[in-house]
Structure 1
Amino acid sequence: MVTGTLGGGSIRRNQDVVVESRNISARVRSIQNHGRDVEIAYPGMRTAVNLPDLSIGKNGIQRGDLITVHSLGSPHATIDVLLERSSRLKRNSSAARPIKNGSSVQVHFGTRRIAAKITLFDQPALGAGQSAIARLRLDSPIVAFVDDRFVVRDSSEQNTIAGGTVLDPDAHGANFRSAAQIQFLKVRATGPHDVDVCIRSQLQRDGWVGSKTMLAKSNFGTDEISQALSRLSHDGDIVVADDIAAGASYWHDLINRAATLIDRAHEKNPERRGVHLSELRTDLETESDKLFNAIISELTRNDFVRFENQIARASHQPSLPLELSSAAENIRAALSARRFDPPDRKEFLQDRKLQQALGFLIDKGEIVEITNEIVVLREAAEQMQNTIAEYLSENGSATASQLRQKIGTTRRVMIPFLEYLDRTGVTRRIGDERVLANKSAAAKLTDAARAQRT
């Protein structure tokens, strides 16, 4: 049975938890508060948790250990803090000596004691009555929360020399003196207990955060964070879109950049139906799937359309530039001359103009892309499909060889075309033969084939 005070979040019966300093997992069998069984414990409650999977001692749980959940992430050995020293320290006492940059100290978090080194942000020492932003490099990692309080004692542990408040429990080792981190810490130091201040400071530094993971390492409740996000969004300070929250200026700049990139792509390649999402993502330098999906969702709500893996402005109409007209005619002529045995697509990729014109004709629907190697005219594809549908409707099934002979094409074209019909739900392969996928398709395609003959 493990006892203590729940500092943040909640713990439920049968929930999986972890002893953070040793990364030992366990499941909560039962919870008590002042001798009464409860289903859930909330912040501030004196809590007794039954963890039958854990032993007590060196290889199990010890006094001072923190019980937490996996979703909070890994513990950190580097945290950024606000250090404060009392002005009531006796001037000539050893406790009042200035804390120098690089000092070794003992830090007390709850019942834990951890050796650490102090790095002061912008001053060589911290005297009595002063406060300063600092970085603690701990000898062992901990899971700390924003606004957690701690006590600093000298290395000999004879004197209490300062107190402090956690500002960034997941500080990055290399960014302490970066402009973004400095501004973040200065803003957060004005109110680490204020949820609005904490949200603003994080979005000002990071640009965006997943709304469900916002301030995960804090003592703020889920409802409190959700209400703050709604309030700040209503005031125009931030934007909440899909599963993310972003600073208003950051978000609007990002959406404007995306819109500009799409418009420029339309101007540069008017023959293209749209911009591939992978190209847009690369140009935006957006690594996060969650952020990129939110961007696309926002664009499609405002004058843009998405189709398959492309996006375009809704008003964009693909048009073939004059310099590509002759290339398009050459492609049409080449495919028309060999309707059922078209030349290899590679022949159209050796010249950039041919390549652009082919992409336009495919997007327009004038040419059907069977595979990466085979393209045919739309009319030829429909004629082949109707011929196959009629033959299968009359005979029930057929081999690829029979259908190839019926159409008068080659195996190079026939096999990929049949696989194309399988993918589009027209035919279905059974062993070495093809049948129509369903009777309604058979009737529809047979009628179309007969209508074409008449």
Structure 2
Amino acid sequence: DEGVMPQTREHLAILDLLAIKQGIIAITKVDMIDDDPEWLELVTLEIAEAFEGTVLADAPLLPVSAHTGAGLAALKAQIVKQLLATEPKADTGRPRLPIDRVFSISGFGTIVTGTLIGGQFRIGDEVAVQPVGLSGRVRGLQTHKTKLDVVKPGSRVAVNLSGIDKNAVKRGNVVTLPTVIKPTVLIDTQYQHLDSAEQPLKHNMEVKLFVGSAETIARTRLIGSKQIEAGKAGFVQLALRDPVAVVRGDRFILRRPSPAMTIGGGTILDPQPGRQHRRFRAETVEHLQTLSQGTTDELLLQVLRRNEPIAPVNLHKLLGIDAAEFAPLLQDLRDEQRVMQLGKVLVSAETFHRWKSDIETRVLDFHHTYPLRLGISREEVRSKLKQKAAVFNPLIASLVEADIVVEDGALLRKPDHSVQFSASQQSAIDRLKAQFAKAGINSPSVKAAQAIVGEDVYQALLDLGELRQVRKDVVWLKADYEKIVAQVVAFLQKNGSIEVGDARDLFATSRKYAIGLLEHLDAIGITRRVGDERKLIPTVEKKNGT
């Protein structure tokens, strides 16, 4: 009956200031006016008018009732639709978790929760809590009560911290990686004063700052203007009572402490200005205007994101700045790990970490689906990512160096993954090995081996190198294989060449095994076929000292 309440209008203004671009408007308790559709239409029109000109002006408006269930199906469908259309949160490799809750659990210790932004956390990560300057380690991670090894930006996350006491941290602190962020008590901002503000924003005015999950008292220092009228914007330096942990681009809200009211908000231009500015100095105003329009390094990153992966020389051409400025700028961005070099090309940190996350997820999913397999095919991962080897190879090298994955021949696996056989599986393996040992070169066929241990265990034995399959129907134990190959090499060193009949007689076996062996040695580069003969490739002769 009272229409759109002042608190709703204030919340809508905050959404505008925070640039929240997606949303759904739900008109609740519509069961109370089931007998008056004209009243619902009037309410709908009033709400649409209140949201006109805001970030949610085009948001879907849905009438619902929790009591009768009316409209809930449509609401759920709209939520799913918007979630599917939402872009993944950027991963710049600089994770931050603004803490909104702190508690402890017996046997686990300190738990903090929040919404992760900027990057990923992994179990075992060394972390810092700012602005209090504490150091600890990630002991455990959960998202929606599900335990995870890695959590991604945009997720609601609970972090179990070791080495940090519960009473030493509080709401408003930020969990991050060491060196990512520094505390500050002075920030330069671009500020928007609300149309609804009852008085102008003045110099040295006491306000309450809300940024991330932190709140603190601040004093305003207006730069370039005496006051900022309702509906107007300007530059404001905020001097804070308590230190906060923020970065350039973070959005904030200002409220009047008493009587409590939201008066405006904006964007942090410089979280570390270093000193208080002279308010009306032309150079200071010009500097803040430049920051508000975007710096050269931000322009470089924008061009890079549109054209990556790209060679440095081509990026320089597209950017169109002097070489003397480009080289040190690019080096600074590399040093800050905002630009990553993969072989001969550059990619943004967001793309690098997205690819890294994709590879890690594929490897983890493979381990979960095929626990008896040592790892996923490296080539399969490259193919699915649709990457050229020139980019993929240095990408994998960087993940190996960071101990995120391990290269095991042609396979990729997690460092802590190992194949574990059950007692019954190990018993079957022992039976198979006994048959191989008895048969020698005339080993059981691939199908026979698979029948004894099962296809999954058979493939695991191949991955582990305990079996060597030389063709579709021929497989040997590793020790037998190495012995057989050594005998062929020795025969070639003595006789100069070998034919199928020679191999058959040498091992007292059938043509199937002899042909399979010689074709395999051709394929792996030990021999080269010349007519009906095989000759030892010179590099193999040198390896064997001949």
**TM-score scaled to structure 1, two decimals?**
0.46
**TM-score scaled to structure 2, two decimals?**
0.39
